[in-house]
Amino acid sequence: MDPITALAEFEQAALASIAAANNAAALEQARIEFLGKKQGRLKDLQSLLGKATPEERPVLGKRFNDVKTAVEAALEARQAIVAKPKVAATAIDLTLPGTLPELGRLHPLTQTVREFQQIMARFGFEVVDDRELEDERHNFDALNIPLEHPARDPLDNFYLAAACTASGKPVLMRSQTSTVQIRVMEQRQPPIRVISLGRVYRPDDIDATHHVMFHQMEGLMIGRDVTMASLKSVLRMFAAAYLGGDTEVRFRPSFFPFTEPSVEVDVRWKNGWLELGGAGMVDPNVLQSVGYDPEEYGGFAFGLGIARFCMLRHGIDDIRLFYQNDVRFLRQF
């Protein structure tokens, strides 16, 4: 076979093999077969060059180099292709393990608030909400809290030094959700059956059971024949719904300026009684302060600490845990 034909055949075979190789191993095999330094077919062709006549040599030499360059270039181009992953970068590989999204969860107090709202909704109580920044009328005056009452002591309240109402009256962070009773009665006529759950603020030394901010649930029911028996039933049903059907509830006579008579509500817990909050029949003075006729309407009100229930339910022994945002605590709920 003349060298020119041999070179053409070599080129054709080499390019076909390289094009057919669809992985790195097959391509390497083709490289060894055609371009291998020791036994490659190009090496055999090189020996033909030696046999060429001096006239043939320049043409043949050039042809040899062209073929060698073309095959090497094809090999390099193919190497780049087979080295790439089969799947295009934009495609989704369904066989890869997924990345699980990090699921957040509701704060235990938020969970408690929502559960309270659901329980009370079953007894027909509507959820209302109102401001945390209040004036003295709604936090004290309309609630029948006299000027000399210790609850009004500026040292026991968060008054805002730099703020006041439009009429220049002092402003404070509400110290109780009872403010919402007044807000609701000012805007509506009986019958009223509402609850309001929210934050209240009092300067206090922070320890395992006290904080400067805490949560209360306020309840208010006003109508023509709402009685103390209604109050006791609602609170008993509420305690049973949240803490369990066999929860024992106790009512102790007490005093609050905005209720008459007033009671303190306890639940039986571990050989003792645990105080949940206060309640009573809305004082006629309160009804009058919002323009209701106490001869026509009456009702009950109650105010319960929320954290206490959540702590009982989950065995949490320190109220500060609620506000530290430690995920080791939070992710347990």
User: Interface with ligand DAH by CB under 6 A: which range of 48-56, 61-69, 96-104, 274-282?
Assistant: 274-282
Amino acid, single-letter form, for residue 85: P
Residues contacting residue 225 through CB under 8 Å, at least 6 positions apart:
none
- To the nearest whole angstrom, how small is the minimum distance from the Cβ of residue 304 to ligand DAH? 8
Residue number, 22 or 227, with CB nearest to ligand DAH: 227
Query: Is 198 among the residues that bind ligand DAH (CB under 6 A)?
Result: no
- Nearest distance in Å: CB 140, ligand DAH: 11
| Residue 146, preceding peptide bond in cis (omega within 30° of 0) | no
> In the complex, what is the shortest distance from the CB of residue 111 to ligand DAH, in angstroms, rounded to a whole number?
22
List 135's β-bridge partners, or say none.
171
Catalogue the long-range contacts made by 70-76 (C-beta closer than 8 Å, 24 or more residues apart).
Answer: 70/11, 70/15, 71/10, 71/11, 71/14, 71/15, 71/18, 71/34, 71/35, 71/42, 72/35, 74/14, 74/15, 74/18, 74/19, 75/18, 75/27, 75/30, 75/31, 75/35
Q: Identify the burial level of 37 via C-beta atoms within 10 angstroms of its C-beta, where 0-12 means exposed, 13-18 middle and 19 or more buried.
A: exposed
Half-sphere exposure of 141 (CA within 13 A, CB side): 10
Q: Is 301 in the site for ligand DAH (CB under 6 A)?
A: yes
Q: Which of residues 11 and 264 has its CB atom nearest to ligand DAH in the complex?
A: 264
The site map against ligand DAH for 155-194 (x = CB under 6 A) is ---------------------x-x----------------
For residue 289, state whether it binds ligand DAH (rule: CB under 6 A). Answer: no
d(CA 290, CA 282): 12
218 binds ligand DAH (CB under 6 A): yes
Binding of residue 259 to ligand DAH (CB under 6 A) = yes
The answer to the question of residue 299 lying near ligand DAH (CB under 6 A) is: no
238 contacts ligand DAH (rule: CB under 6 A)? no
**Position 108 contacts ligand DAH (CB under 6 A):** no
17 binds ligand DAH (CB under 6 A): no
Shortest distance (Å) from residue 191 CB to ligand DAH:
17
Q: Which stretch in 10-18, 85-93, 97-105, 273-281 sits in contact with ligand DAH by CB under 6 A?
A: 273-281
Contact status: 302 vs ligand DAH (CB under 6 A): yes
What is the nearest approach in angstroms of ligand DAH to the Cβ of residue 105? 29
Residue in 256, 292, 309, 322 binding ligand DAH, rule: CB under 6 A: 256
What is the β-pairing status of strands 213-223 and 192-201? antiparallel
Q: Any residues with CB less than 8 A from the CB of 284 and at least 6 apart, and which?
A: 260, 294
- What would the DSSP string read from start to end of 44-65? HHHHHHHHS-TTHHHHHHHHHH
DSSP 125: P
Q: Closest CB to ligand DAH among 158 and 256?
A: 256
# residues contacting ligand DAH (CB under 6 A): 12
Q: Does 303 bind ligand DAH (CB under 6 A)?
A: yes
Q: Give yes or no for residue 34 binding ligand DAH (CB under 6 A).
A: no
Q: Contact, 19 vs 13, CB < 8 A?
A: no
Q: How far is the CB of 176 from ligand DAH (least distance, A)?
A: 4
Kindly report each contact of residues 20-26 with a partner whose C-beta sits within 8 Å and lies 24 or more positions away, as own/partner: 21/78, 21/82, 22/82, 23/82, 24/79, 24/82, 24/83
Give the nearer residue to ligand DAH in terms of CB position, either 42 or 310. Answer: 310
Look up residue 38 and give its amino acid. Answer: K
Among 67, 71, 243, 279, binds ligand DAH (CB under 6 A): 279
Which residues bind to ligand DAH, rule: CB under 6 A? Answer: 176, 178, 218, 256, 259, 277-280, 301-303
